[in-house]
Each structure stands twice: as structure tokens, then as C-alpha cells.
Amino acid sequence: MSTYPLMRPRRLRQNATIRRMVRETHLTPDNLIAGLFVRHGEQIHQPIASMPGQAQMSVDVLVREAETLAELGVPAVLLFGIPQHKDAVGSENYNPHGIVPEAIRAIKAAVPHMLVITDMCFCEYTTHGHCGIINAIDSPYHTPHLPDGYLLNDETLTLLAQASVVHAQAGADIIAPSGMIDGMVLTIRHALDQAGFAHLPIMSYAAKFASSFYGPFRDAAESSVQGGDRRNAQIDPPNSREALKEVALDVQEGADILMVKPAMPYLDILTRMRDTFNLPLAAYQVSGEYSMIKAAAANGWLDERAVVLESLAAIRRAGADMIITYFAKDAARWLQEK
């Protein structure tokens, strides 16, 4: 039996005020984290071709960007470094004077209440573009029974621990390990605790998929893989049970905040995480999601502002407490204007 004409859902949609009153999810600048790319030099604002509106910035320019974001009410930034030189072990990632430690110090000095999160991975720092130490015949870590080019797990953990402490000492507020290395959260937790940083939270890229939506980022961070790919570390896109297993392990290892990445094609994972775990959840609207909207908007096919705010609200609805997005600055501005 139909409930019509008794029930008329349109009653609660008939004007903006009533819609506002029954709205279930809210988006504010508090929910946003801006992803930023930093490189050496001065006065550098080098546009990233595959991500219109985004740029690699030198530390001085980056600090101004952080100030603008703070004024707009955005509480946090996530930093990606483009090092001066790369090597097989990504040593610039644990150099106390590397680009990210320099950027952390500068932002914390200029905008102390801005939370600085650092992406903890080696792919931006290695010549081969893999997320850690890889197996090679001429490497001191050579492991004969593993294939050449295989990402060596436990050897990489040692370096992740070292780099995390370096970032913490520079003033990072949150460490965000993103390489999908087994045991990364536990190893970093122990290293931080031993170095006096027991209070520093870890935001784990817990459910990180081997996604082709990272394409534009690899231009932006100059971190393309030279030979091979990241499918032996990141989760196979069709798998959801495996993602939940990964997330459960990170919870046991002491993660404080859990992330799913990418965001929009993986909202089902986000919702299942929301239903299962009681930690704060972050979703990463990645470079490909950003560039798709930008390209369509540039062609006049989509209304950029409307689509961005809708996508961010949808990610919140699916369960995210916070969203890492390259739209953070624009979205915060649009939210202020509303």
C-alpha cells in the first residue's frame, strides 16, 4: 500500500530555510586540509601543468599561502617536498635541512596554530621513485631470493622511523605515513615515543588504493616510478575486505586518524570504515579527482564551485571528518561567502 498522499517528502524541501533545518551533514573550513608542494629556492611559484591552479612553491611563498589558509579558517596543511637531489635511499627525507623540515620550521614560525602534517613516504626522494628501498644487485640491502626492484619492507621501515623523527624535531604536528609498508604505523609510533614525541599523532594512509587517479600528482611531486609500479604495496582497487583488514591492522598499531584514498571512487570504503571504527576519518580527494573537475569546468561543462562543494559535502556524508583537498583554499572562500 502506498503512503502517498499521506507522505510527501517535498514538504521538507520547499524552501532554503527548511532545507537548512533538516540538513544532515555540514561542511566548514574546519573540515579541510590543504595539500601543498614545496621546493627549494626563493620567490618560486611554479604552476603544475596537470593541476591547474596548483603550484610548486618555495618556502617563502608557501608561508604566505599558509597565512592565507589560516585567515580562511583552514586548520591544517599536508606537505609534499621536492628535494634538491634524489638518491637510491631517499636520504633527503631524513636530512634535518631537507626541504620539508625547512618548510615546517618556517610555517610554524609564521603561523604557529596552523597544523603541519607531513606525508611520510620516500617516492619523492628516490631516484627510482619507489616508496622506499628497492632490491638491486648493487645495493647493500640486496636480497637474492626477491626480484630486482622489489620494495624491501623492513629495511624501509628503519628509514621511515628515522625520517619521522626528523620531521617531528622540525616541528611537524602530525606524521602521515603513506607508503603502505607493512608495520609502518607501529614502527613510527615506537620511534616517535623513544625520541620524546609520544604526544604526536599519526594519521595513517590506512586504506590507500593502487589508483590511477594519482596520475597528476606524480607530475606535481616529480615522483613517477621508473620501472614497475606500486601495486605490490597499495590495495587492489576492487577489494574492500582487504581494505578493512589493512585499516584494522593500523588501528592495532596505534594509528590516531585513519585515511581512505582516493575519496570519491572509494566512498563505500569510507562508510564501512565509519561503521566499524571509532577513530576520526580522513578522506583524500586526490590529484585526479581535482584535475577532472578543473578540466570539465575549464570547458564550461561543470559549474566548478557547485561541483566542488557538492563533492566535499558528499565525502563528509559518507563518513569523513576531514578532507585533504587541493580545493581547500577555494572551498574555504566559497563557504565564507555563503
Instruction: Give me the residues that bind ligand PBG (CB under 6 A), please.
Output: 119, 121, 123, 178, 214, 217, 230, 286-287
Q: Residue 123 Cβ, how far from ligand PBG at the closest point, in Å?
A: 5
Query: For ligand PBG, which is the closer residue by CB, 121 or 134?
Result: 121
Q: Residue 236 Cβ, how far from ligand PBG at the closest point, in Å?
A: 14
Rounded to an integer, what distance in angstroms lies between the CA atom of residue 130 and that of residue 122? 7
Active site residue 208: yes
CB 36 within 8 Å of CB 70? no
| Catalytic-labelled residue, pool 108, 261, 294, 329 | 261
**151: which 3 cell numbers?**
620494495
Rounded to an integer, what distance in angstroms lies between the CA atom of residue 57 and that of residue 53? 12
Q: Residue 171 Cβ, how far from ligand PBG at the closest point, in Å?
A: 20
Query: For ligand PBG, which is the closer residue by CB, 142 or 231?
Result: 231
- The residue at minimum Cβ distance from ligand PBG is 217
Active site residue 294: no
Beta bridge partners of 124: none
Query: For ligand PBG, which is the closer residue by CB, 78 or 337?
Result: 78
Rounded to an integer, what distance in angstroms lies between the CA atom of residue 300 and that of residue 281? 33
| Catalytic-labelled residue, pool 208, 245, 294, 329 | 208
Supply the DSSP string of 284-311, one letter for each residue.
EE-HHHHHHHHHHHHTTSS-HHHHHHHH
Query: For ligand PBG, which is the closer residue by CB, 37 or 67?
Result: 37
Rounded to an integer, what distance in angstroms lies between the CA atom of residue 45 and that of residue 61? 7
Q: Residue 330 Cβ, how far from ligand PBG at the closest point, in Å?
A: 16
- Cβ-Cβ contacts under 8 Å for 336 (sequence gap 6 or more): 29, 72, 73
Nearest by Cα to 319 from 289, 288, 278 = 278
Rounded to an integer, what distance in angstroms lies between the CA atom of residue 128 and that of residue 87? 8
Rounded to an integer, what distance in angstroms lies between the CA atom of residue 269 and that of residue 176? 19
Query: For ligand PBG, which is the closer residue by CB, 168 or 286?
Result: 286
Q: Residue 4 Cβ, how far from ligand PBG at the closest point, in Å?
A: 46
Q: How far is CA 324 from CA 78, 197, 200, 227, in A?
A: 8, 24, 19, 29
- Catalytic (active-site) positions: 208, 261
